[in-house]
A = this chain, B = another copy of it.
Amino acid sequence: MAGLIDPDLLFPGDERTRAVARNLYTEVKGLPIVSPHGHTEPRWYALDEPFPDPAQLLIVPDHYVFRMLFSQGVRLEDLGVPTLDGSPVETDGRTIWRRFCENYHLFRGTPTRLWFDYTLSNLFGVDELPSAGNSDRLYDRIGECLARPDYRPRALYERFNIEVISTTDGALDPLAWHAKIRDSGWKGRVVPAYRPDAVVDPDFEGFSANLDRLGEITGADTGSWSGYLDAHRARRAYFKEFGATSSDHGHATADTANLAKAEAAALFDKVRSGKADASERRLFRAQMLTEMAKMSLDDGLVLQIHPGSFRNHAPAVMAKFGRDKGFDIPTRTDYVTALKPLLDAVGLERDLTVILFTLDETSYARELAPLAGVYPALKLGPAWWFHDSPEGMRRFREMTTETAGFYNTVGFNDDTRAFPSIPARHDIARRVDCAFLARLVAEHRLREDEAYELARELAYGLAKKAYKL
């Protein structure tokens, strides 16, 4: 590794533990990347065109980056974040990049800093911290790299040693890019995941039109409950044709419901007519998680639940810049009562996999580990989003392992749209897990040979198995 990343990055300070961590890491650092959940664009792999300029690639789309800069007074317009109404924003990549570099100190202690250090160092051969002084030089260097054939998406996929990567795709998505990838003969494995929020959440923009469209695509009658469910089945089957092994659900809460069929049908009618009130719309979302779980029992898709984000907290930012602009704030999330209807229905099934994520770390030891530590259908997703960080991942292991063990967890998700950072994210997760295992070994809670086996599982094996990849 180059200058910005020390070989001992993230390993504990004491020599006894560090030595174990170093040994464990040596065994796993070269394993292929399995990326079972993320947000890269299938278009990239399909077209295999050069990435845009450094700012458009690394700054403008990265909410971790622009939210921090915004919090310290940098305007989103000045970072090139596009406005909904098309009012002008900074378009000069070099200028945007400079604003980032001169504020690089703001990221000290954050995972963004580590991801950038790693990426600059390992992908672009940069060995100095970004600053106002070297901003232009770095911009040029990265730009030159991006213009080269070996920095195109497929080349990077291969260089990153990715074995398989999942995108996340709306239920209405025709998967045209996935088709193009499949038909291209390229041997990279890019699979979709079924994300039906737009046709499951009555509060989603254009919900009614979305259901009309769902009917058109599938030929099912999305004016009736049974037709609507058939449409989901059809889409899930379609996604599976392209290699999908999972669905993903981003509800505000973990609420589930398990209504009798007639009740569910009546609720659907009300929701479909647009007359459902807030509690009915909430109940519908809850019911749909259970319906999806039941479909999973039939078609084998792994069900992912990502609850607990208060989306678009600042209406002024939402109005000007739209969704996903850094104003998604975690909230307290209950699982014990919320999941009960789903668990009563299918929680004891041994052939079902429901992967739970949380933005509320208080649920790790109190709720999630005890639930995953007994229900065969449940597994714990890795530390997510704000908690996808060294301290966050450490807390995840410290607060879940003793009750759920390692084998009720599912390895790492990079969950990113920042393609160049994927190796950094997996590397950091591997290092943190090796450091955790090393502590168990150093404290004689685990034998070193067991730790080797676990390190491989956490880095590679569990993700493949849990996601059936």
Contact = CB atoms under 8 A, between A and B. Distances in A.
Contacts of A376: 70-73
B340 A336 contact: no
A313 B348 CA distance: 12
A467 to B, nearest CB: 17
Interface string A339-350: 010011001101
- A5, A336, A405 — most chain B CB neighbours (10 Å): A405
Interface string A313-327: 111110000000011
A297 interface: no
A366 B395 CA distance: 13
Given A344-B316, A399-B391, A13 B10 contact: no
A403 B105 CA distance: 14
A406 interface: yes
B108 A406 contact: yes
Contact of A15 (B16, B129, B399): B16
A366 B361 contact: yes
Contacts of A228: none
A331 B336 CA distance: 7
- Number of copies of this protein chain within its complex: 3
A6 to B, nearest CB: 4
A362 interface: yes
A463 to B, nearest CB: 17
A13 B317 CA distance: 46
A79 to B, nearest CB: 13
Contact of A442 (B13, B72, B330, B371): B13
A137 interface: no
A337 B330 CA distance: 11
B343 A313 contact: yes
Interface in A367-396: 367, 369-376, 378, 386-387, 389-392
A68 B109 contact: no
A106 B373 CA distance: 10
A375 to B, nearest CB: 6
B334 A332 contact: yes
Given A332-B334, A375-B314, A387 B365 contact: yes
Contact of A344 (B15, B68, B315, B347): B315
A208 B446 CA distance: 51
A274 B266 CA distance: 36
Interface string A398-438: 11011111111000000000000000000000000000000
Given A9-B443, A376-B73, A313 B331 contact: no
A408 B110 CA distance: 12
A360 interface: yes
A199 to B, nearest CB: 28
A263 interface: no
Nearest to A16: B13
A347 B315 CA distance: 11
9 contacts: A13-B16, A13-B17, A14-B16, A106-B407, A110-B401, A129-B447, A329-B371, A330-B366, A389-B402
Given A370-B386, A386-B402, A391-B398, 7 more contacts: A9-B444, A13-B439, A14-B17, A317-B348, A326-B374, A362-B366, A386-B403
Give the 8 A-B CB pairs with smallest separation, nearest first: A6-B444, A14-B14, A13-B442, A13-B17, A389-B402, A109-B401, A67-B374, A13-B14
